[in-house]
A = this chain, B = another copy of it.
């Protein structure tokens, strides 16, 4: 090949093969690379920069609410993992075990943390003695390991990055409030920063976190109609405190067990971004987390003054957005395709005629809309356009989710939807585990959540057994 030795990348269309489209985007947008370590991925600079932006925003939202970051050990001794019965049952089957240190066999094997409740409890036992020591509002950014059989980039891998919040409180009320508050932080983050509509809800007992008394979730709907659990918040009651013997002296000098919560979100959010906003041209990034928010592409860049002017407006835009100017020797066509693939929210085209007219063409990634902007107005207009991109992305995703949400009153209706219409199914439920099991087995759907808002009374009867209904649930096939 000649000077321009890079070809425009091609990806499978999402209508042809959604799973293949997804992995194509992960690779071609240079988010990840596969590694020699089975089930583990490499997060490349572009993908990691998205994660860094997610971290930065979330971390400040957590700190605003008084949370502090800590770092706990990577390993959990087997005896510590076993202290809370439900918890160990949930996690032991899927952990990686360290059995050797150097040349020596360990006396007690250590698991690589799949989650850190047990370590936090062990620490709380050391540092919590009086009501004066409460609450502790902790968070940790780290990687965790779960030995999954089938894996997919960002969605399910043996190692993933996440944050796990762990808090401990004097009263049940305070802990419950914390659990709901953090769910709201996740929902706010998803909506405002990822332009991703989510259903806030509570999990059924079957879908609850191992050891929790209540699990809250935000559920998003992907392009292919599958649900993606995108963040969870758990209320533990005093179960972990009792199992680990964490006690404090209250104001009346009585010994009490404190109440705990935990809440987590992961690199899965990047998978959610891809499958909520992406299209057949590739990734489409929400401006708040895009590593590059604006790319400047000079047109006819061999003409005098074009590169200079492109660099000049890049500086101006750099004051209000994360910007990159691509002055490489690739063709404009190649550059357009490349930055579409990478989901850059805005493209600024600048050529000799634009310079004459004192204006540039700004193209939105989300809908292809072109706007002429006076060069003098760039510092004002770029932030407005970025906001418009976020709003447009959110509205589009919301409209699609609404169009893909169906109500079912009978088992037959539900079966018809499950078989033929990808999306959320809203249906009444009696509260029995057997009905959940049956719907999963026969229709392949799981209960996503009982919504916290807008729970509608669709019928008096459980969609499955016909007995008296207790709740309206969201159901769906899920990642």
Contact = CB atoms under 8 A, between A and B. Distances in A.
A446 B42 CA distance: 38
B48 A71 contact: yes
B33 A126 contact: yes
A388 interface: no
Q: Copies of this chain, how many?
A: 2
A35 B72 contact: yes
A158 B110 CA distance: 13
Contacts of A457: none
Contact of A71 (B36, B43, B74, B158): B43
Interface string A12-48: 0000000000000000000001111100111111001
Interface string A90-110: 000111111111110000011
Interface string A66-86: 001111111111001000000
Contacts of A34: 126
Most chain B Cβ neighbours within 10 Å, of A98, A99, A110, A158? A98
A119 B100 CA distance: 21
A132 interface: yes
Contacts of A145: 74
A91 B74 CA distance: 19
Nearest to A144: B74
A43 B142 CA distance: 13
B33 A112 contact: no
Contacts of A377: none
Contact of A42 (B49, B72, B132): B72
Nearest to A44: B70
Contacts of A159: 73-75
A95 B161 CA distance: 22
Interface string A353-374: 0000000000000000000000
Contact of A96 (B36, B51, B77, B101): B101
A68 B45 contact: yes
Given A48-B70, A71-B161, A72-B35, A42 B123 contact: yes
Interface string A157-174: 011010000000000000
Given A45-B138, A96-B100, A5 B130 contact: yes
A68 B40 contact: no
Contact of A93 (B42, B103, B123): B103
Given A71-B48, A130-B5, A147 B102 contact: yes
A37 B123 contact: no
A464 B99 CA distance: 44
Contacts of A37: 73, 75-77, 110, 119
A103 B51 CA distance: 32
A272 to B, nearest CB: 18
A134 B127 CA distance: 50
Nearest to A43: B71
A52 B74 contact: no
Contact of A119 (B35, B52, B73, B96): B35
Contacts of A459: none
Given A5-B132, A37-B75, A96-B98, 11 more contacts: A5-B130, A33-B126, A35-B73, A37-B73, A42-B119, A48-B71, A71-B143, A74-B143, A95-B101, A98-B99, A100-B109
29 contacts: A5-B130, A5-B132, A33-B126, A35-B72, A35-B119, A35-B122, A35-B123, A36-B80, A36-B119, A37-B73, A37-B119, A40-B73, A42-B71, A45-B69, A45-B138, A48-B68, A48-B70, A71-B143, A74-B145, A94-B102, A96-B100, A96-B110, A97-B98, A97-B100, A98-B99, A98-B112, A99-B100, A100-B109, A101-B158
